[in-house]
Amino acid sequence: MPTSDSLDSDALFELEPAVTQSAGFAELARRPLRELVAADWAEALAPVEGKLRDVLAFLGREVAEGHEVLPPPSNVLRAFGQPLADVRVLIVGQDPYPTPGHAVGLSFAVDGATRPIPRSLANIYKELEADLGLPPRVHGDLRGWAEQGVLLLNRVLSVRAGEAGSHRNKGWEAITAAAISAVADRVTADGSPAPLVAILWGRDAGTVLPLLGSTPVISSAHPSPLSASRGFFGSRPFSHANTLLREQGGGTVDWELPPLP
């Protein structure tokens, strides 16, 4: 490892992103919860606030030790940016894409400029076309779904670049379990369950079933190229979700994404 005397200006410039990332995660660990997530999410996640701060501090240490962490600090809690009260559909993923530049803090989504899109997302688009006749998009920006109350939540919210699953069992699972329970436990003014449909793709997603109570669930194989042909294709999750939402008085989701982000 070079000493400080051997670091020229170019090398220092190369180190800036890692230094910034480390400081960013450490800063998140110190900030009030209400500055990190939507106000009603802050209330729902208060019981696991200490665990959240521990995980964020761990991410700071990961970067300080030379690991690139995805997504960046600005997006690691992005799934909780939309109000909890607005959630109508829950789509559970595993952990973020480990390819640098792909993870954006929403399960299955990527930055709108990413080409080509991940194969799992391409398969999701194929099923969307078969289900609702909506044309596949070349981009992976799923903000249009999130803004309509589709919670795109990974079970684990960070990963080392190039190392899929590297941040499992580091504390995220308790936080996302609390989030899923909070979504499922909401009630309306008359005490009835708030409209909600859960879409669970693959065995990992299926592990959250005990947290969902009486929530209607649509489950199938994962859209990964390794499993999509074993039950994901033909499952019609998007039309089924809208049917279940209508039955609960929750309206419908417009699943069509813009041609370009």
Domains along the chain? 78-247 (3.40.470.10)
* pLDDT at residue 22 in the model: 60
Considering 8, 54, 95, 131, which one is annotated as catalytic?
A: 95
Active site residue 95: yes
DSSP bridge pairs for 154: 93
Share of the chain above pLDDT 90, in %: 91
Mean pLDDT of 33-38: 96
Cβ atoms of residues 77 and 185 within 8 Å: no
- Chain segment 52-101, per-residue pLDDT in tens: 999 999 999 999 999 999 999 999 999 999 999 999 999 999 999 999 99
Mean pLDDT of 186-215: 96
Residue 71, preceding peptide bond in cis (omega within 30° of 0): yes
User: What does pTM read for this prediction?
Assistant: 0.91
